[in-house]
Amino acid sequence: MSKPIVATASLAGCFGCHMSLLDIDDRILQLIDLVEFHKSPVDDIKKFTKMCDVGIIEGGCCNSENVENLRDFRKNCKILVALGECAIMGGLPAMRNDIPVKECLEEAYLGSPTIDPKDPKIIPNDDDIPMILDRVYPLHEIVKIDYFLPGCPPRADLIWEALLTLATGKELNIPYEVFKFD
Amino acid sequence: MSELTFFIDNKECKAKKGQTITEAARDNGVYIPTLCDYPGIRPAGTCRICTVKVNGRNMAGCTTPVEEGMIVENKTAELEDMRKAIIEMLFVEGNHMCPTCEKSGNCDLQALGYRYTMMVPRFPYLWPSREIDASMPKIVIDKNRCIQCLRCVRGITTADGKHIFGTLHRGDKTRISADPELVAAMTDEQAQKAMDICPVGAILKREVGFKVPMGKRKYDSAPIGSDIEK
């Protein structure tokens, strides 16, 4: 049997979940024996060229590019896993959900103390820049998500156990200490 | 004092007359999850996490006194799933962002989420608009995190017995509020007690936060209730 193919992405996240994946330390050698990585920041493959077995997504959706990316993953992955609090419930970026987008942009680009007073006061609005959404959406509010791994970041041992379960079909073992929401 | 005999999931248990089901269960080494119930304050039965089946009917264990020969169901698949659903409902009903919360690791709601392995709530998030009241000298009230358990309302009083906290509005709009004069006169001890009595991170003591490191907090290594279960 060929190795399961894994793709990963970070949407509106901080890459902390990917860092936590790297925290499996030397087990990463076992992991590359077990699975093949496809589109992922880990190997810098940018485009899907084949169907993947597992897509692991960190971060929620805060702009149009995130949504596009997520839909691309849903189309090209048999199983989608929401990795971490931002993917599951929006996380820190979702703290803006109660603030109108206009106010957020004005705070960031017009009113922020780090704005150079000599610069023209402009809220970036180029077609090439992804459109910011009205609020931050957890992944399962946009597409169907098959599994969820909580944590900020999810502990390396939890990610390892989940990957092992998906790759080998063994029963998922979640020790209490590795199942956390922070 | 007369002793009553009753049964929880077929285990023979003893209770003192007047004890509630959750109290007696605790004394018999049986954990019934509680959230709005707190030692030393009168039970209110607001959260229903302690729901048990008594002689076939759903009852709040924290407000129901034990009676002789009572048959109580506790750890059944149906009740455990209903409790998990209540926790999930509480998570979607407010704005509970554990990674940003000072109470994380010491939070009863979060600990119940861990105990029931809540991967994601089954209900849609409501994203309610709630305010943070930081106008008080000793405490901050973050209403995003409040679960309206009324532990602070019932348990925090001034030396002469006045309630510092109360509720505004009713139904799903119920909000906790503090009397401006009484809250302004709060001592550090009272502020700490208010923070401790709050099961979530809705009441926080000012000028201190994240004091206990990760790994050493209340629910980091042992699940809620594991100190009771025998």
> What does each of the 230 residues of chain B score in pLDDT, given as a tens digit?
579 999 999 999 999 999 999 999 999 999 999 999 999 999 999 999 999 999 899 999 999 999 999 999 999 999 999 999 999 999 999 999 999 999 999 999 999 999 999 999 999 999 999 999 999 999 999 999 999 999 999 999 999 999 999 999 998 899 999 999 999 999 999 999 999 999 999 999 999 889 999 999 999 999 999 999 97
CB–CB contact B120 A88 (8 Å): yes
Give the model confidence (pLDDT) of A99-133 as tens digits. 999 999 999 999 888 888 888 889 999 999 999 99
| Chain A contact for B208 (CB, 8 A cutoff) | no
CB–CB contact A181 B119 (8 Å): no
**Angle at the Cα of A17 from the Cα atoms of A78 and A170, rounded to 5 degrees:** 50
Q: How far apart are the first and last CA of chain B?
A: 25
- Who among B101, B117, B125 is closest to A89 (CB)? B125
Q: What is the spatial distance between Cα A134 and Cα A140, in angstroms, rounded to a whole number?
A: 17
Listed in order, the ranges of chain B carrying CATH 3.10.20.740 are 3-75
Taking residue A119's Cβ as centre, other Cβ atoms within 10 Å add up to 8
Q: What is the spatial distance between Cα A85 and Cα A4, in angstroms, rounded to a whole number?
A: 25
pLDDT of residue B230: 78
- Give the number of A-B residue pairs with CB atoms closer than 8 Å: 64
Q: What is the distance in angstroms between the Cα of A105 and the nearest Cα belonging to chain B?
A: 19
Class of domain B3-75: alpha beta
Contact predicate B36/B150, CB 8 Å: yes
Q: Is residue A50 part of a domain?
A: yes
List of residues 6+ apart from A145 with CB closer than 8 A = A80, A81, A82, A87, A139, B120
Q: What domain range is A81 assigned to?
A: 5-96+136-178
Taking residue B187's Cβ as centre, other Cβ atoms within 10 Å add up to 11
B175 SS3 class = strand
For residue A50, what is the domain's CATH number?
Answer: 3.40.50.700
| Chain A contact for B98 (CB, 8 A cutoff) | yes
**A45 has which bridge partners?**
A40
| Domains of chain A: total | 1
ipTM score for this prediction: 0.93
Which residues in chain B have their CB less than 8 angstroms from residue A177's CB?
220-221
- Who among B100, B124, B129 is closest to A98 (CB)? B129
Taking residue A158's Cβ as centre, other Cβ atoms within 10 Å add up to 23
Angle, helices B77-93 vs B108-115, to 10°: value is 140
